[in-house]
Structure 1
Amino acid sequence: MAKEIPNLMAEARAGTGKGAARQARREGKVPGIVYGDGKDPMPIAFEFNDLLTKLRAGRFMSTLWNLKVDGETDVRVICRGVQKDIVKDLPSHIDFMRLRRTSKVNLFIPVEFVGHENCPGLRKGGTLVTVRPEIELIVTAGDIPESITVDLSGLEVGDGIHVHDVTLPEGSKPTIDRNFAIANIAAPSALKSEEDEAGDSDATEDAAAPAEGDEADENTEE
């Protein structure tokens, strides 16, 4: 299933240049520009609070947006730069690039774990430790996956899941070449405690037991 592309609301901005940008800021808006795809740049503006909320939510620059501007055809865009006020650290200008459906783009795709009921490690009390709740993939703009499915069926305590163990959506690939970890099945706390206690007990017995040479010396003295 293709991932739903979130909407990003903007309005057309009259004029370009520093003067027009300053006017937009005086009106409580953040000026921006959309470029690319062989078309003329389009000056736009965003409501300050709405844009700030989205920026602070995270992943803004790695999210594919459906840009909606009154009087214009919706277009898919990705953020390519956010300028900030050096004193207030708030957005003062934002740049977007148009994308075609066939364009390749880097996006973070969430990981979905299934097969919990068929995982022996979890049934024995193990814990699923998620190393990467999202994986950055190179995907096609027109076919963004909703999630990456990881099947836990058959995994035992101590087993790990790496990216090469997972079937990725067709046409996508990780931005990292190495076989990185996604998750693992950790031992239950009780088992860890028992192993630690057993290790401590063995160490105590080893320390208390006389060495063979010591026993030989004692017998000789007798």
Structure 2
Amino acid sequence: MQDTSTIKAEVRTPRGKGGARALRRQGRLPAIIYGRDFEPLAIDIDLDFSRREIRRPGFRTRLYDIDLNRDSTIRVLPHAVAFHPVTDDPIHLDFLRVGPDTRVTVEVPVAFLNQEVSPGLKRGGVLNIVRRTINVNCPAGLIPEAIEFDVSELEIGDSLHISHTQLDPAVKPTIGDRDFTVASIVAPSALVSAATAEEEEDEEAEEPETTDEPEDTPTEE
């Protein structure tokens, strides 16, 4: 579970694209909060702060408290970001309102621990990452910062599957019908090429000699 950050915001009156552009010129980012059967709430937040947060790893799995200078804050999860097609600057942000019982489906990054002591990697193997993120469904308050896998005992040829990590019982991978592969330790291409060449040489050495003379064939009596 990650720490919750606070975003100071102001309620705004939607005024179309022209109003949104005017807000951005003032250093504010238009945003909206929706979900949990509440009416959508239009807000605006600091544009520079938004740029920094959006570029932080794990932005879409981090909970925020929206502070509107009221008696209480609104807990939200970033849902969607619209970017300018030329400048790549954020131009609008959607937040999902969440509560204690809200379950969400999010994409969580994968972290591989203890790579420096993995015997397979120390022997020159390569960590072949199959999945850099894993989709999970979980309570909003239990979103993992990362899903961690320990590679400290992996040899070349070993694989990591989703069953090799410890998740909170309430955190469920969206792929639930199989023990899917997350990563493996593979031999480097140079070693693979050398091994293949050796096998081909061995096969050539084992081939029987042939001559141009025909072999004796059995005759019918």
Distance 1:123 1:95, change over 3 A: closer
Classify the secondary structure of the residue corresponding to 1:142: helix
Check the 8 A contact 1:3/1:147 in 2, yes or no: no
1:27 aligns with 2:4: no
State the shift of 1:29 in Å: 1.7
Distance 1:54 1:192, change over 3 A: same
| Residue 219 (structure 2) aligns with | none
1:121 aligns with 2:120: yes
Check the 8 A contact 1:104/1:140 in 2, yes or no: yes
What value does the CA root-mean-square deviation take over the aligned residues? 3.5
- Paired amino acid for 1:187: A
Classify the secondary structure of the residue corresponding to 1:46: strand
* 1:61-72 map, 5 Å: 62-72=60-70
Structure 2 CA distance, aligned partners of 1:191 and 1:171? Answer: 43
1:181 aligns with 2:181: yes
Structure 1: unaligned runs, 5 residues or longer: none
Structure 2 CA distance, aligned partners of 1:123 and 1:83? Answer: 43
Check the 8 A contact 2:3/2:63 in 1, yes or no: no
| Residue 201 (structure 2) aligns with | 201
Distance 1:193 1:144, change over 3 A: same
Structure 2: unaligned runs, 5 residues or longer: 217-221
Classify the secondary structure of the residue corresponding to 1:77: strand
Aligned length: 213
State the shift of 1:99 in Å: 0.2
Structure 1 CA distance, aligned partners of 2:83 and 2:91? Answer: 5
Distance 1:110 1:59, change over 3 A: closer
Classify the secondary structure of the residue corresponding to 1:121: helix
Distance 1:190 1:79, change over 3 A: closer
The one-character-per-residue Cα deviations of 1:76-104 (angstroms, maximum 9, x if unpaired) are 21234444556766443332221012211
State the shift of 1:180 in Å: 2.6
TM-score (norm 2): 0.73
Check the 8 A contact 1:64/1:107 in 2, yes or no: no
Percentage identity across aligned positions?
32
Classify the secondary structure of the residue corresponding to 1:76: strand
Distance 1:17 1:175, change over 3 A: same
State the shift of 1:46 in Å: 2.1
Structure 1 CA distance, aligned partners of 2:87 and 2:151? Answer: 47
State the shift of 1:125 in Å: 4.0
The one-character-per-residue Cα deviations of 1:149-208 (angstroms, maximum 9, x if unpaired) are 32335543212112234332221111234433211111255642431230232354367x
Distance 1:16 1:158, change over 3 A: same
- Paired amino acid for 1:127: V
Structure 1 CA distance, aligned partners of 2:86 and 2:117? Answer: 54
Distance 1:84 1:3, change over 3 A: closer
TM-score (norm 1): 0.73
Structure 2 CA distance, aligned partners of 1:86 and 1:95? Answer: 18
State the shift of 1:117 in Å: 7.7
| Residue 76 (structure 2) aligns with | 77
Distance 1:17 1:190, change over 3 A: closer
Classify the secondary structure of the residue corresponding to 1:157: coil
Classify the secondary structure of the residue corresponding to 1:179: coil
